[in-house]
Structure 1
Amino acid sequence: MQANDHEADLALLTEAARAAGEIALKYWRRAPAAWDKGDGAGPVSEADLAVNEMLEAELGAARPGYGWLSEESADNPARLGAERVFIVDPIDGTRAFLADEGGFAHALAVVEAGRVVAGVVHLPALGLTYAAHAAGPALLNGAPIAPSAATRVEGASVLTSKLSDAASNWRNGEPGYRRSFRPSLAWRLCLVAEGKFDATISLRPCWEWDIAAASLIAERAGALATDRAGRALGFNGAHAQNNGLIVAPPALHADFLAHLRPWPL
């Protein structure tokens, strides 16, 4: 796949993400119907499904040969044999969306041979659009972004959940980082990419649709994005999960690996 193909796919994803935002905002703060998916999968709303339906139809029509993987679609194993695949989270941060908060995102990616080649994370309520393709810079609303210069876990500002605080995750107990949280995992990666926070970590399995688009944005900004053991992230897998996540500038990423217990525990 050539760079101009990456650019064309990025343009397609950007247009689709903005259309997704228009749909989502028609439901936002209007008490859309919502229900729990069960098995710990969290809530879903009529807005999630409306966005998903549009994206699957529009992106599928534009690239009929691409496979499809979305949080809100039944999985089709045919994607495993596709040369390129759309990986999509129609609304990442549904809980925030249903709470009338603006920190929800549309995360859209194109994956080729297990690697992301184009990605967009769009937050319509906040007017933020992060984007990158595999041969270009990471952009926020069209301007280049870069991660922080942090090098040490101690004192770093880290986007993560309380689950990461468990002493069992760390070689010598929880280090002294400053923990914050944002409801959209994709947005957390993007906030690291633009240097608003030093790192984001997740020490439990991560669904591909949550991290695909934003992992490329973080990498093109200059951060490292790996699983919790420091291994490269892979996409369009049969189970569609990666083994946790560490996203940080290179020196800080190395310090996280030095502090974390080897996996499996």
Structure 2
Amino acid sequence: MTRYADDLALAHLLADRADAVSTARFRALDLRVEAKPDLTPVSDADTAVEREIRAVLAARRPGDGLLGEEYGEQPPTGAAGRRWVVDPIDGTKNFIRGVPVWATLIALLEADRPVLGLVSAPALGRRWWGALGAGAHAGPDLAGGTPIRVSGVGRLADASFCYSSLDGWIAGGRLDGMLGLMRDTWRSRAYGDFYGYMLLAEGALDVMVEPELSLWDIAALVPIVTEAGGVFTDLTGRPAPGDGSAVASNGPLHADILARLGRPAAR
């Protein structure tokens, strides 16, 4: 029995409830989509999933805090100062277009450190989870999970390199570094969102990078990647979530990636 066994069980319950809501709305003809103030889309499924998770946590963990993408911050009232962080649907643009690569992200933070993460992608029929000291696993549910591990690839020339999109790297003055990595790695693909990180944790690829993320985008991913043996920092090399950027790798490649992407080009 690990320290976070009860929390992992609760995270899977939250995922069960979330999946029931989201799958019922996926590819629904009456799905409602609006633009948020930052012009990113939000569907009625995003808000319904977060409401469901909030209701369960209010009943099961009333002293814990909660930060959700759609309804904001609820500070903790318990002495432990624990906080759940939720992205009800990561990959909303995929969701609203009928692309099955989307997931609910659930994290638990202690002293602002992610100690537990779960990613549930019901349209892919798969979940990934990890907690400090408990390793990382993937499978259909808690009972059916098997351990996962990052790759042992040690050279960029042999590495599969993953990213979200090029827009943020252009805006941040790091496009030259990105293009260099694309040339020097064995393969580069933009799987995007949560999926690249989970493929990294499974050893199917070796590096995943993004220039700008919110806490709900990243918190659940960190324990899964690190418990699978990987390294997860921001672009400055600080442990994630850091400044909101992300460099996740299998470990041996990490220093080289940071050297290439960590410093924007002079203007």
Who is 1:145 aligned against? 148
- For residues 1-265 of structure 1, the aligned pairs below 5 Å read 4-31=2-29, 32-40=31-39, 42-76=40-74, 78-79=75-76, 83-141=81-139, 142-160=145-163, 161-163=165-167, 166=170, 168-169=173-174, 170=176, 174-175=180-181, 176=183, 177=185, 178-183=187-192, 185-203=193-211, 205-234=212-241, 242-262=243-263
Aligned counterpart, 2:142: none
Q: Displaced runs of 4+ in structure 1, greater than 6 A?
A: none
In structure 1, list runs of 5 or more residues that go unmatched. 235-240
Note the C-alpha offset of 1:147.
Answer: 1.0
Aligned partner letter, 2:35: D
Alpha-carbon distance, 1:163 to partner: 3.4
Could you tell me how far 1:243 is from its partner in structure 2? 3.4
The whole-number CA distance in structure 1 between the counterparts of 2:6 and 2:63 is: 15
- Give the conservation status (yes or no) of the 8 Å contact 1:87–1:209: yes
Deviations 1:50-74 (A, max 9, x none): 1010001101211111101010113
Q: What SS class does the counterpart of residue 222 from structure 2 fall into?
A: helix
- TM-score normalised to structure 1 length: 0.87
Contact 2:63-2:77 at 8 Å conserved across structures: no
Separation in structure 1 between the aligned mates of residue 19 and residue 262 of structure 2, nearest angstrom: 40
Q: Could you tell me how far apart the structure 1 residues matched to 2:58 and 2:255 are? A: 39
Tell me if the contact between 1:92 and 1:186 (Cα under 8 Å) persists in the aligned partners.
Answer: yes
**How much has 1:123 moved relative to structure 2?**
0.4
TM-score, with structure 2 as normaliser? 0.87
Give, as a single letter, the amino acid of the residue that structure 2 aligns with 1:112.
E
| Alignment partners' CA distance in 1, 2:168 and 2:91 | 19
Unpaired runs of 5+ residues, structure 2, are: 140-144
Letter of the 1:35 partner, please give it: E
SS in 2 for 1:250: coil
Change (3 A) 1:248 1:29: same
- Measure how far apart 1:214 and its partner are: 1.3
